[in-house]
Structure 1
Amino acid sequence: MSEQFAARVRADFPVFERQIGGRSIAFFDGPGGSQVPRQVGDAMRDYLLMHNANTHGFFATSEETDAVITRARENMAAFLNAPSPREVVFGANMTTLTFHLSRSLGREWGPGDEVIVSQLDHQANVAPWRRMAEDRGMTVHVVPFSAETYTLDLDALERALSPRTRLVAIGAASNAIGTVNDVARAARLARQAGALSFVDAVHYAPHRLPDVQAIGSDFLACSAYKFFGPHMGILWGRAEHLERLTPYKVPPASNASPERWETGTLNHEGMAGTAAAVEWIASLDSHGPGNNLRASLERAFRAIHAHETELFAALYAGLTGIPGVRVHGSPADGMRTPTAGFVIDGVSPDEAARRLGAEGVFVWNGDFYATTVCDVLGLSDCGGLIRAGIAPYTTADDVERLVTGVRALARG
């Protein structure tokens, strides 16, 4: 069943027509950005060639652009289970949106106030809050994670909360080692302390369908290019916050949310592609297209999760069975995404990625902007990690090629 699922997915991805050394490419680079299905490229091309215009004009292409933006908000609201499409903000990327939000939030805070970040997070969910705290004279507390269990210490988070805590920033999943965090608990603890919560779901969203209502956070951000879309960032915020806060914008720009948060002219073709990416995921629903996009997405993600879990178990077993290879992260059946961060004795991550890439097996190397993860694991001075992620288009043959390549590298 898993191979049938992968074959159905791969049929939509033109990139699998490419070959290296007479073989198709085994893409394990998804944690850095997934491949893109034909439907997404077609939607972006169609918008640019047939509907391109600025917004709110009294002519056809402008009205069609407004419709594209509306569809993108509606589709992302379904993807996130947001109460309203008016809570969906688009931007260049998650990092830019987070800096943007941090500046607006910081206007209300000052010396003596506190913000909490974690050691397990990508710098996009750390640096914006640190810079804001420096500007406003605030204190930053850091929640540690364990190098033995690879989990975040949420008890330490609870102890760090105080009446002066203004924000808790936490990742839903580690982009380096795959750990999935209990962000609902973190959001609940923040709320009980009178603080806001911000969730980075960039690495989480390609593998588990986000649900902002179940999580209970105040803000959540993700990136379309991680779930088969174009390079765009998406920020969800509770309507009460988006309306109350004062974003940095030019005076003539709309004062209505979410437009007041979207500085300048948007990437309309990217929004068309994002809407198409959500619809493409929903097309994986075995029940066929229906009227309820969220329900189709939930069924599609169950199929994605089953496929990725099966292949990751094989990848994890293969890698951990090779002498000289250490996989950092929870067991294959633990609370994690299908992303393996590992090292090979005597082989630097950049050399491993280079040699595997020459064989058509694409993996990432480095710290992936999760710098404190590599610091805690003692890997910062030796090149960080090799990272391989399972995606819906991954096959058992891809996994075997990666394991075989790593085994050869470990043998020297």
Structure 2
Amino acid sequence: MSPDHSTVLSENLKLIRQQFPALDRPAIFFDNPGGTQIAKHSLDRINKYLIECNANHEGAFATSIASDAVLDEAHRAMADFYNAPSAEEIVFGNNMTTLTLHISRSISREWNEGDEIVLTRLDHDANVTPWVLAAQDKGVKVNWVDFDVEDGTLKLDDLQKALERKPRLLAVGYASNSLGTINPIEKIIKMAHDAGTLVYIDAVQYAPHGPIDVQKLDCDFLVSSAYKFFGTHAGILYGKHDLLEKLFAYKVRPATNKLPGKFETGTQNHEGIAGVLGAIEYFEWVGREFGGEYIEGLSGEGYQGRRLELKKGMTAIRAYEFELGRALLSALEAVPGLRLYGLADVRRLDDRVATFSFRLKDMHPRLVAEKLAEEGIYVWDGNYYALNVSERLGVEDQGGMVRVGAAHYNTLEEVERLKEALIKISK
């Protein structure tokens, strides 16, 4: 994204913010990496579902039939959001962590003692421990790929060496929820596939910030959680059709053997899934209203209908967040005694999302977060479940870091208020 790239979103922030009822209060939400505020489209879908079609699955009566129609549409909408070939490749669950713990049992069932897998120290623990536990159960070796502590980028040379051992699986994040680093995921997937390795992508941190295309990436599995992209507490897994068909599903006997239901155990959170549909409809609205200038750039990609609107919307969001990221980086660098972790080069903003972690002088991160909360600015402190990152940076025993993360409903004025508050706290 060029630094001088024009963005319609920045000129229409009032209209964008009106789509988020929670923003109508004297608070600044920079806690977005831990969960965004919900879009009105999502709230409306939840209410409509609970009032008009709240019923269990596959009944012969009207509300059940209507409920199934909503859930089917949600699967199609997520297939469009991921650009998956089929809605049958979309599996809903409680969240990314639960889905990963579940699917890891199915994937690891095919491992043999002495096999190897590859994990990274840059990942959220939800894309680490499920695989470590599975490896322990199956007698499989875990090989680790480190990241550069100076700039927070994954060491691709180390990854290449690990892949030369022909591991069964590589689990890797699209973007770091701690340092904001966007991994060169398309390149990484090709490296893994050249070694005959399956790839499981944690896209939770990236999904709110830019377009995803699982077909272009050629990933085997990709998962995100909708409460990180303006929807409900629900996780959504994509898996290649032939892989999902082949995998053994841990389920009860009456449950279907058809996709995707064979992996959607028990009664799902129907109103939550309806809310996910609403979040996708919000992105579609963003694309329709503000994504027109990106049509030319997307014209050669073959997207049509809702898929095109979604890619326009996410491209518009990415463009505006480039502005926010540049402003946040400048603001944090202006605070005396602040140490920023991860990429801090303004020329490399394309390689990160607008999520920044830092420490302020010798202050405990929780104290900084509490003082910001007193100013009406909401941020996270600690390790954010990216335990390997905080340990590797040597800050885990010191309370971790403070994390601020922008979403596209944040404003440049809010960034300025954050800077002023941090300067005040640092004195």
Pairing partner for 1:118 from 120, 123, 148 = 120
Counterpart residue number, 1:21? none
Cα displacement string for residues 321-376 of structure 1 (whole angstroms, at most 9, x for unaligned residues): 22200111212442000111111012111001111111110011010011111111
Partner SS, residue 49 of structure 1: helix
2:341 pairs with 1:325: no
Counterpart residue number, 1:76? 78
How many angstroms apart in 1 are the aligned matches of 2:209 and 2:138? 36
Pairing partner for 2:365 from 328, 335, 349 = 349
1:117 offset after TM fit, Å?
0.3
Q: 1:10-409 alignment to 2 at 5 Å?
A: 10-18=17-25, 24-162=26-164, 164-287=166-289, 292-330=305-343, 331-334=345-348, 335-409=351-425
**One-letter code of the match for 2:338?**
V
Greater Cα offset, 111-120 or 316-325: 316-325
Contact in 2 for aligned 1:91/1:233 (Cα 8 Å): yes
Partner SS, residue 168 of structure 1: strand
Contact in 1 for aligned 2:116/2:141 (Cα 8 Å): yes
Contact in 2 for aligned 1:113/1:139 (Cα 8 Å): yes
Greater Cα offset, 71-80 or 35-44: 35-44
Contact in 2 for aligned 1:163/1:194 (Cα 8 Å): no
How many angstroms apart in 1 are the aligned matches of 2:86 and 2:180? 30
Which structure 2 segments of 5+ residues have no match?
A: 1-7, 293-303
How many angstroms apart in 2 are the aligned matches of 1:231 and 1:178? 22
1:261 offset after TM fit, Å?
0.3
**One-letter code of the match for 1:149?**
D
**One-letter code of the match for 1:124?**
A
1:17 offset after TM fit, Å?
2.1
**One-letter code of the match for 1:393?**
Y
How many angstroms apart in 1 are the aligned matches of 2:259 and 2:247? 10
1:287 offset after TM fit, Å?
4.8
How many angstroms apart in 2 are the aligned matches of 1:40 and 1:221? 19
Contact in 2 for aligned 1:224/1:234 (Cα 8 Å): yes
Contact in 1 for aligned 2:202/2:223 (Cα 8 Å): yes
Cα displacement string for residues 10-51 of structure 1 (whole angstroms, at most 9, x for unaligned residues): 111111222xxxxx2110011000001222111101111221
Partner SS, residue 283 of structure 1: helix
**One-letter code of the match for 2:418?**
L
Contact in 2 for aligned 1:98/1:128 (Cα 8 Å): yes
Relative distance call for 1:340 and 1:8 in structure 2 (3 A) is: same
Partner SS, residue 181 of structure 1: coil
How many angstroms apart in 2 are the aligned matches of 1:249 and 1:3? 47
1:5 offset after TM fit, Å?
2.6
Greater Cα offset, 169-178 or 102-111: 102-111
How many angstroms apart in 1 are the aligned matches of 2:383 and 2:278? 31
How many angstroms apart in 2 are the aligned matches of 1:289 and 1:341? 30
Which structure 1 segments of 5+ residues have no match?
A: 19-23
How many pairs align?
A: 406
Percent of aligned positions that are identical: 44
Q: How big is the alpha-carbon RMSD for the aligned residues of Structure 1 and Structure 2?
A: 1.5
**One-letter code of the match for 1:341?**
S
How many angstroms apart in 1 are the aligned matches of 2:238 and 2:257? 17
1:3 offset after TM fit, Å?
4.2
How many angstroms apart in 1 are the aligned matches of 2:29 and 2:149? 28
Pairing partner for 2:13 from 6, 24, 44 = 6
